């Protein structure tokens, strides 16, 4: 075993967990999950069957990741955020097998207490503010906040809000990387 799991963590059969990953107190990793290398799974986290987490995914305390979710590398999931996987749940109806899929692309961050309604992908390096309720697909580098979440700007790969000049160019204050805004899409140049 080349990962760490706290004594109180429960890891079901059939999981694949990468080297250097840490799983903390009272977390439950359910059957047939794939968790990449160097991930950090905080306290009281539920990872449902067949969830896939890429490498270096950071899952903060009290997060629920339900079946149908796929997180690429370097994703950040803030404290107590949650994914859904059924659009119309009813206690008396079993909807297993009809879960909607949600993909969180490389480098995206989702803030504390945010909710991601299933079937709405999160673009690479997008940034979802704390408490947001995402009800639509989020473009790469977009900054979404509120309930329902709406776009209020763009973010750099280092997590800084981008301010575009009249030529549609922005520079990240930390990395000095340049970004171009064209036709409501952002690309790193």
CB atoms within 10 A of CB 93: 8
Q: Quick one: tokens of 88?
A: 């119309």
Q: Are residues 109 and 137 in the same domain?
A: yes
Q: Are residues 182 and 130 in the same domain?
A: no
SS3 174: coil
3-state secondary structure 103-139: EECCCCEECCCCEECCCCCECCCCEECCCCEECCCEC
Q: What is the mean pLDDT of each run of 10 residues along the chain (189 residues)?
A: 95 97 98 97 97 98 96 98 91 86 98 97 98 98 98 98 98 98 96
Q: How many residues does this entry show for the chain?
A: 189
Give the pLDDT confidence score for residue 140 in this predicted structure.
98
Q: Give CA–CA dist 93/91, Å, rounded.
A: 6
Residue 83, strand partner residues: 116
Q: Are residues 80 and 122 in the same domain?
A: yes
Q: Are residues 176 and 103 in the same domain?
A: no
Q: Are residues 124 and 172 in the same domain?
A: no
Q: Are residues 19 and 69 in the same domain?
A: yes
Q: Are strands 109-110 and 127-128 parallel, antiparallel or unpaired?
A: parallel
Give the pLDDT confidence score for residue 20 in this predicted structure.
98
Give the chain's domain count: 2
Give the pLDDT confidence score for residue 95 in this predicted structure.
84
| CATH code of the domain containing 100 | 2.160.10.10
Show Cβ contacts of residue 40 under 8 Å, excluding neighbours closer than 6 positions.
21, 22, 24, 57, 58, 59
Residue reference for tokens 């790193």: 188
Domain that holds residue 185: 162-189
CB atoms within 10 A of CB 90: 8
Give the pLDDT confidence score for residue 151 in this predicted structure.
98
Q: Are residues 66 and 114 in the same domain?
A: yes
Give the pLDDT confidence score for residue 97 in this predicted structure.
78
Residue reference for tokens 């909607």: 100
């Amino acid at each position: 075993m080349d990962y760490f799991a706290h004594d109180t963590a429960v890891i079901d059969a059939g999981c694949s967990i990468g080297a250097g990953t840490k799983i903390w107190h009272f977390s439950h990793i359910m059957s047939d999950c794939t968790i990449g290398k160097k991930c950090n799974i905080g306290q009281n986290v539920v990872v449902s069957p067949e969830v896939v987490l890429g490498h270096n995914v950071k899952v903060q305390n009290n997060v629920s990741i339900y079946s149908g979710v796929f997180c690429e590398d370097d994703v950040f999931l803030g404290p107590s955020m949650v994914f859904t996987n059924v659009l119309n749940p009813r206690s008396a109806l079993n909807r297993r097998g009809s879960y909607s899929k949600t993909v969180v692309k490389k480098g995206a961050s989702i803030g504390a207490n945010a909710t991601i309604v299933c079937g709405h992908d999160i673009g690479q390096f997008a940034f979802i503010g704390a408490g947001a309720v995402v009800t639509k697909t989020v473009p790469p580098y977009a900054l979404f906040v509120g309930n329902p979440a709406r776009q209020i700007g763009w973010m750099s790969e280092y997590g800084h809000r981008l301010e575009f000049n009249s030529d549609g160019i922005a520079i990240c204050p930390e990395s000095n990387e340049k970004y171009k805004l064209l036709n409501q899409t952002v690309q790193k140049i």
